[in-house]
């Protein structure tokens, strides 16, 4: 998963910021974009809307922060080992929301209240 912007206070507004490296924007090579270094071995929730009334939701563990270059893509890039991954080639598009910690239950409850179908990402 990757983004050219990322919050630094991944654990909450009242917690310390994660370290970051100021880089240029990956695709344009201009401006400034933070490469936020996410904590290794952290549990994460991954979510992505697909259509106005459906949400893919998954959980996994952060394996590594990925430098760009040598890999392509956005500055804050992380490798995630997804739980219950049936097909690693099925990446569900780009720019998923990544949240530190397991908040799948909260997303499922929100989906039920808002009439949004929550489907497994894997």
Query: Which sequence spans correspond to the domains of the chain?
Result: 2-120
SS3 readout for 58-114: EEEEEEEEECCCCCCCCCEEEEEEECCCCCCCCCCCCCCEEEECCCHHHHHHHHHHH
What sign has the CA pseudo-torsion 3, 1, 98, 43?
negative
Predicted model pTM: 0.87
Mean pLDDT, the chain, whole residue set: 90
pLDDT for the residue numbered 121: 87
Looking at the chain, the whole-number percentage of residues with pLDDT higher than 90 is: 63
pLDDT tens-digit readout, 34-88: 999 999 999 999 999 988 899 999 999 999 999 887 777 788 889 999 998 888 7
Distance, in Å, from the CA atom of 55 to the CA atom of 20, rounded to the nearest integer, reads 30
């Amino acid at each position: 998963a990757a983004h050219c912007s990322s919050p630094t206070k991944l654990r909450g507004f009242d917690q310390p910021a994660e370290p970051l490296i100021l880089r240029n924007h990956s695709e344009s090579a201009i401006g400034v974009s933070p490469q936020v270094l996410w904590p290794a071995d952290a549990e994460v929730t991954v979510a992505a809307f697909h259509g106005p009334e459906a949400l893919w939701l998954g959980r996994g563990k952060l394996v590594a922060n990925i430098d760009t270059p040598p890999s392509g893509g956005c500055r804050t890039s992380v490798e995630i080992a997804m739980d219950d991954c049936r097909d690693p080639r099925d990446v569900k598009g780009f720019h998923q929301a990544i949240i530190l910690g397991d908040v799948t239950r909260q997303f499922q409850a929100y989906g039920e209240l808002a009439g949004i179908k929550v489907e497994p990402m894997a």
